[in-house]
Amino acid sequence: MLSVRDLDVTFRARAPVLAVRGVSYDLAAGEHVGLVGESGSGKSAGALALVRLLPDYADVSGRVMLDGADLLRLNERELRAVRGDQVGIVYQDPFSSLNPVLTIGKQLTEVLSKHKGLGARAARREAARLLETVGVPNAEERISDYPHQFSGGMRQRAVIAMAVAPRPALLIADEPTTALDVTVQAQILELLQELTSEHETTMLLITHDLGVVAGVTQRVMVMYAGRIVESSSTEDVFTRASHPYTVALHRSLPRIDVRQERLVTIEGQPPDPTQLVRGCPFAPRCPSRIDRCADEDPPLMTIPTARRAAARGWDMASIREEDGEQVPGPASPHLTACWNPPDPAGDEPGPAR
């Protein structure tokens, strides 16, 4: 349904920022996929680039095929027909993503009149119904309210209503709960889950929080330094993480079942996106680093391939020929971009720790 190939996003600056580097993946209709990574990993840039919503100083290349059309090659007019209609977006900060001087109703109805061709009165009725659906009480009255009269959670509900109003095929949720209170976060996630399941909407859920991904998605892609470093079913990511970065992310999650003196952190800093060095970008922070990590950036491959490649010293070219460099998709196996994937199950230890 959505197929992204070799997506590059570079922010032009004195020192160009390589935010996204050669990202490819497929999403199937109705699938819920999480895109996880720390801030600066390129997950938001990569998602907003799909509909070219980045600022002017961002260069985007690659292919983004949505139902047969390459979104990166549409003209402005065609793109406008896709935005908001086929692709809905929920943004990170509901305090800044709503226009402060327009009523909630106005901001909702403009989507409906643009994409559904509804007249003023019909649009208003539909807007009230939508607000009701997303759980805004007294929707009929609150439709004339301005954003500042809404709480954070209510605003995000309104943003969600705008995103799902024309029943989009794809919903991009860019850190939809980050700016909200913890108690509200769960409600918002539940709402997203409910709305997308109801209409079989594909959802790309972007978050830095593994916990958010757990209950909502079927599949997870982990990003680090502008690349996808691991892709698997959500269950596998939690029980059999194969990339050292994902493993470290898990360790850094606070646990309630074990008494912890202090929280676990990942040593070191993410790489500087303005100057990427040779080899795996995670290597300097990686506990299972081997020699070749410093020289060759591992492609996304299946775990057996990664192990064999490391053990037999295959070079990059032969891996690509064999079964390496795979594209994450609905049916793809557990993939990892690591020359020495740790095995938490312990049945097959990596060559060197």
Partner 1 sequence: MRWFVLRRLALAPLVLLGMTCITFFVSQLIPIDPVAAYLGGRGAAQSDAAEQAIIDALNARWGWDKPIPERYWIYLTNLLQGDMGESSHSARAVSTDLANVLPPTIELVVAALVVALVFGIPLGVFAAARRGGVWDALFKVVSTLAISVPVFWLAIVGFMVFYGRLGWAAGPGQLDIFTRPPPEVTGMVTVDSILAGRWDALFDTLHHLAFPALVLGLVIGFYFARVVRSEMVDALESDYVRTARGKGLRRRLVLYRHAFRNAVIPVITLSGLAFGSLLTGIIVVERVVGWPGLGQYAFTAATRLDLNALSGVVLVISLAYVLANLTVDLLYTVADPRVRDGMRS
Q: Give the 3-state secondary structure of 251-320.
A: HHCCCCCCCCCCCCCCCCCCCCCCCCCCCCCCHHHCCCCCHHHHCCCCCCEEHHHHHHHHHHCCCHHHHH
- Taking contact as CB under 8 A, which single stretch among the options 80-88, 195-203, 230-238, 281-289 is the one that binds partner 1? 80-88
CA 9, 11, 15, 17 dihedral sign is negative
Residue closer to partner 1 (CB basis): 80 or 129: 80
Q: Which residue has the tokens 């990202």?
A: 23
Q: How far is the CB of 306 from partner 1 (least distance, A)?
A: 38
* Residue 244 within binding range of partner 1, rule CB under 8 A: no
The piece of 59-67, 81-89, 267-275, 301-309 that touches partner 1 (CB under 8 A) is 81-89
The pattern of x and - marking residues 95 through 134 that bind partner 1 according to CB under 8 A reads: -xxxxxxx----x--xx--xx-------------------
- Please, which residues have CB within 8 angstroms of residue 224's CB and are 6 or more apart in sequence? 37, 38, 41, 243, 245, 270, 281, 282
The span from the CA of 232 to the CA of 262, in Å, is 30
Give the shortest CB-28-to-partner 1 separation in angstroms.
23
164-193 residues near partner 1, rule: CB under 8 A: none
Given candidates 39, 61, 138, 149, which one binds partner 1 under the rule CB under 8 A?
149
User: Contacts with partner 1 in 3-62 (CB under 8 A)?
Assistant: 51, 53, 55-56
With CB under 8 A as the contact rule, which of the stretches 82-90, 194-202, 280-288, 345-353 interacts with partner 1?
82-90
Q: Residue 292 in contact with residue 352, Cβ under 8 Å? A: no
Check residue 276 and give left, alpha or beta (phi > 0: left; psi -120 to 50: alpha).
beta
In whole angstroms, what is the distance from residue 44 CA to residue 239 CA?
26
User: Of 10, 36, 64, 91, which lies in the binding site for partner 1, with binding defined by CB under 8 A?
Assistant: 91
Under a CB-based contact definition with an 8 Å cutoff, are residues 163 and 88 in contact?
Answer: yes
**Using CB under 8 A, which of 85, 272, 296, 322 touches partner 1?**
85
**Shortest distance in whole angstroms from residue 116 CB to partner 1:** 12
Count, residues near partner 1 per rule CB under 8 A: 32
Between strands 32-36 and 87-90, the pairing is unpaired
Q: How far is the CB of 56 from partner 1 (least distance, A)?
A: 7
Using CB under 8 A, list all residues that contact partner 1: 51, 53, 55-56, 76, 79-85, 89, 91, 93, 96-102, 107, 110-111, 114-115, 146, 148-149, 159, 162
